[in-house]
Amino acid sequence: MTKKLTLERILQSQGFGTRKGCRQLILAGEVAVAGAMEDDPDATFATEGLAFSVGGEEWRYREHVYVALHKPANFECSRKPSHHPGVLTLLPGQFRERDVQPVGRLDHDTTGLLLLSDDGAFIHAQSSPKRHVPKLYVATTQDPVTPALVEKLRAGVQLHDEPAPLAARHARALDEHRIEIVLEQGKYHQVKRMLAATGNHCTALVRTAIGGLTLAALGLKEGEWRYLEADQLALLVPDAPGTPAAPR
């Protein structure tokens, strides 16, 4: 059944402020629906596929938003950042109003693919270690990447406070100082700690894929974001097309 809401409630649900504030926007002639100005806050519309504009900026109604961001360095994945700007400052203000938040975290100095959403069930599912969603990282190392280092990561290394060794699902050298690593566990600072456990040091880190969703396919530059549609969300599963396979 198609959901219908008043225009006032539609704007509120999309993060344009309180009901009172949204009503004032409509009465002030700031809102158009399907290209036509609408000044009745109580007018009802079917929400599915609804196109509207606020202050001349085009929007489409979305019950939930699913976003991919190419996170730059020196941004924190927190709604209350302490030492650096938060990643939410890179998104429209409406997203903060509708409680969009990062799915998991990247360190402030780590760049790459970050998901954000206001869908609690999606956030929980994507963050759950039980799903074993592979995440692909490219690490730059201080010392050369040797075959012995790659084998250690594949076999598993012991980290402090971990009950058992952690192994990379996949690891391969890209060049003398860069290594590609696929992890499923998502432990705190895991890539950096695993490299340290091999006797090396991570000097830069970028996440390039989650499941079969890749930063390259999204075409995002640092600081850019885009909505994820159904076909892209379908790639966020274990063994999705394009997911690096474990070494044979």
Catalytically active residues, by annotation = 107
DSSP letter string over the chain? ---EEEHHHHHHHTTS--HHHHHHHHHTT-EEETTEE---TT-EEE-TT-EEEETTEEEE--SS-EEEEEEPSS-BSSSS-SSS-BGGGGS-HHHHHTT-EESS---TT-EEEEEEES-HHHHHHHH-GGG---EEEEEEESS---HHHHHHHHH-B--TT-SS-B--SEEEEEETTEEEEEESS--TTHHHHHHHHTT--EEEEEEEEETTEEHHHHTPPTT-EEE--HHHHTTSSTT-TTPPPPP-
Please give the Cα distance from 40 to 206 (Å, whole number).
48
Please give the Cα distance from 58 to 22 (Å, whole number).
16
Please give the Cα distance from 4 to 6 (Å, whole number).
7
Could you tell me if 12 and 18 are in contact, meaning their C-beta atoms sit under 8 angstroms apart?
A: yes
